[in-house]
Amino acid sequence: CVPEMRTRTKMKNVASDRARRENVPRHILFWFFWSGSFYYFRTKRRKKMKITLKDGSVKEYASPMSIIDIAKDISEGLARVACLGEVDGEEEDLRTVIDHDCQLNILTAKDEKGLAALRHTASHVMAQAVKRLYPETKLAIGPSIADGFYYDVDPATPLTAEDLPKIEAEMKKIIKEALPLERFTLPRNEAIEFMKEKEEPYKVELIEDLPEDAEISFYRQGDFTDLCAGPHMMNTKGVGKAFKLMNLAGAYWRGSEKNKMLTRIYATAFATKEDLEAYITMMEEAKKRDHRKLGKELGLFMMHDAGPGFPFFLPKGMVLKNTLLDYWREIHKKAGYVEISTPIILNRKLWETSGHWDHYKNNMYTTVIDEEDYAIKPMNCPGGVLVYASEPRSYRDLPLRMGELGIVHRHEKSGQLHGLMRVRCFTQDDAHIFMTPEQIKDEIKGVVHLINQVYSLFGFKYHVELSTRPEDSMGSDEDWEMATEGLRSALEELGLPYVVNEGDGAFYGPKIDFHLEDSIGRTWQCGTIQLDFQLPQRFELEYTGADGEKHRPIMIHRVVFGSIERFIGILIEHFAGAFPTWLAPVQVKILPISDKYADYSKEVLDKLTEAGIRAEMDTRSEKIGYKIREAQTQKIPYMLVVGQKEEEEKTVSVRSRFAGDEGASSVESFIESIQKEIEEKNLRETVKADEAK
């Protein structure tokens, strides 16, 4: 303190001398001196703010700093591409000022969350473009989504596909203007009035649903202002040039069929044009593989207005479905599972005990029988629990693995229905494992190995997520902590990489989700393992332990395919309808060159059928080239061409989807070869079109 006091005294004397020289009133000069010195010494003594970056390095600042200014301090290049910041794990706008020690991760469009912020900003740019072109349009919501973004709008006159290029052109102008996005807030009442003045009824409704004391945030960019929580890019130029408007669709306001149908503009945006072009190529390939289109062309399934969301499987589709179910039964029998079947309709009391009535009722179909409430099951687990409780159990009976291919019904909104991917009735390949606490890890490992076996068979890569306790859950903190740790430790012992998906567990327990990647890079969530302490407690399940006392079992819920119907949809698109031979509804097509060889062709057909091979014969009076092209269109793995030479030599001329012309073969040799391929469930790659010629 002494040196500082001396400095202060010296400064005071200098100030006094200067006041006399320049005729400045001393009391004014002293006021500036004391306030300035107070700020100086306060700043000098203030502890510096420490910002720990992703790489572990630490930046120190003497005063609060915005995230964008910290980015500039690190690198001007980083600041140019920054999209948002993560402060102690929480997403924050680049404008956010940090005034305390924290961990900071500055995200760019190369990061999933950073790309989401870019796309969210792009949705605002799209909305601004729509309002400029069609001022009478009312705006609803415009979030970023997995593959891009959308905006729901209510135009005065219907929008068509021809409007999309105009909107894109206007977006490019707005991006070029580099309009700053400025965030401001208003109290709820003022926010409502603000949006009423702008004649935006959907925004008003959204604000009115918020609490009375809520502070509402907006983002302004030039002449356009939108209700939004953020985060966003610093200006419209940050959206870049790699964006495209994809298509239009209908969407009910707030997802309810009771509300008005709005127009949804789907779009996407990426960090680079290369990424955008790759995505567009993938989407074009996805259109060719659309399971709804191929399902109709290949005669696999149909949908009908008599039951929206309820699929009809056609004969070939049933062959495909039953082949999958046979495989499921085969591997589960080897893994020590027993199969059960439980009723589709059960009474309300059961669903109240299980917790579904309170947590899932809006997705359940209900009915009344003998003046008592019943529900059509949306899940198989309560039925499995009743089977367990049907007789006394001992620790010697555990683990008890019970599988069920149960038909379940769930009420999905009509706007969410999509072919086999989102239906209201489906077969779930459930299994419920009842076990002791000591058996948890081994059972989870066993399920993981089973799921890996199945996905590897179809050529799927996958990644794993650990989903933790949601807000709408039941059970104690201790049970949830034990269950989550059980899943986590099993994954770590297996050495299986995973990411944590906070708050996305089932209402009764945490889960491991398997997200598989198909042949064109899309991901699908199928397999899941859920660890449940709650249902055994709620149904008072017991087993007699080695100590002669009663104990509570632990329960695993798990699926491999998930929904059989959805998995078939995924397989159709994954293989583009060209299924591996063991799975193909028709494995061989016999093609007689003319009617003269029909008898020998029938003889070949009988031998194949007797050998358990799914075969058909094309008896039409068409040229052989036409028959071959038809078989190729139907994605048949093998074609056997039969003519005079083949009849005389008792052979067949083999053409395959995999290698084109494979030459002549005896019927017996061909049967032996294809039986081996089917038994081993081989995946042969399909030959390219030019090679087939």
Q: Which of 138, 432, 558, 589 is catalytic?
A: 432
Query: Listing from the earlier edge strand, what are the strands of the sheet with 660-666?
Result: 615-617, 588-592, 638-642, 651-656, 660-666
Q: Is 432 marked active-site?
A: yes
> Residue 151: which of 263, 5, 319 has the closest Cα?
263
Q: Give whole-number Cα distances, 117 to 170, 500, 573, in Å.
A: 21, 21, 30
How is 163-215 classified by DSSP, letter by letter?
GHHHHHHHHHHHHHTTPBPEEEEEEHHHHHHHHHHTT-HHHHHHHHTS-TTPE
What is the gyration radius of the CA atoms in the chain, in angstroms?
A: 33
Say which of 83, 381, 425, 526 is annotated catalytic. 381
Residue of 95, 120, 321, 557 marked active site: 557
Quote the DSSP letter at residue 235: B
548-572 burial code (b ≥16 CB/10 A, e <16): eeebebbbbbbbbbbbbbbbbbbbb
Active-site residue, selected from the candidate residues 321, 332, 409, 410:
410
Q: Which of 131, 511, 551, 566 is catalytic?
A: 511
Question: How many other β-carbons are positioned within 10 Å of the β-carbon of residue 258?
Answer: 7
Residue 254 DSSP one-character state: G
Residue 381 is among the residues annotated as catalytic for this protein: yes
Whether 511 is catalytic is yes
The CB density around residue 361, as the number of other CB atoms within 10 Å, is: 15
Q: Which amino acid appears at position 15 of this protein?
A: A
DSSP 8-state symbol, 594: S
Q: At what angle do helices 564-574 and 315-334 cross, to 10 degrees?
A: 110
Q: Which residue among 428, 439, 530, 634 is the active-site one?
A: 428
Tokens representing residue 624 in the block: 């052989």
- Determine which one of 430, 479, 513, 518 is catalytic: 430
**Alpha-carbon gap, residue 306 to 600, rounded angstroms:** 45
Answer for the pair 82, 91: CB distance below 8 angstroms, yes or no.
Answer: no
Tell me if residue 428 is catalytic.
yes
User: In angstroms, rounded to a whole number, what is the distance separating the alpha carbons of residues 194 and 118?
Assistant: 26
User: Quick check: is 410 catalytic?
Assistant: yes
- Amino acid identity of residue 145, one-letter, is I
Q: Which amino acid is at 108?
A: T
Dihedral over alpha carbons 562, 564, 569, 575 (to 10 degrees): 90
Neighbours of 392 (CB within 10 A): 10
Position of tokens 């977006």? 171
Distance of alpha carbon 55 from alpha carbon 92, whole angstroms: 19
The b-or-e profile of 430-443 (16+ CB within 10 A means b, else e) is: bbbbbbbeebbbeb
Phi, psi of 628 (to 5 degrees): -65, -45
Whole-number Å distance between alpha carbons of 280 and 269: 11
55 labelled catalytic: no
- Tell me whether strands 615-617 and 588-592 are parallel, antiparallel or unpaired: parallel
Handedness of CA 276, 282, 286, 288 (dihedral sign): positive
- The H or E element that residue 449 is part of is helix 440-457
Comparing CA positions, the residue from 139, 141, 149, 140 lying closest to residue 117 is 149
Cα→Cα distances 83→142, 181, 266, Å: 18, 12, 21
Is residue 265 classed as helix, strand or coil in its secondary structure? strand
**Positions marked catalytic:** 381, 410, 428, 430, 432, 511, 557
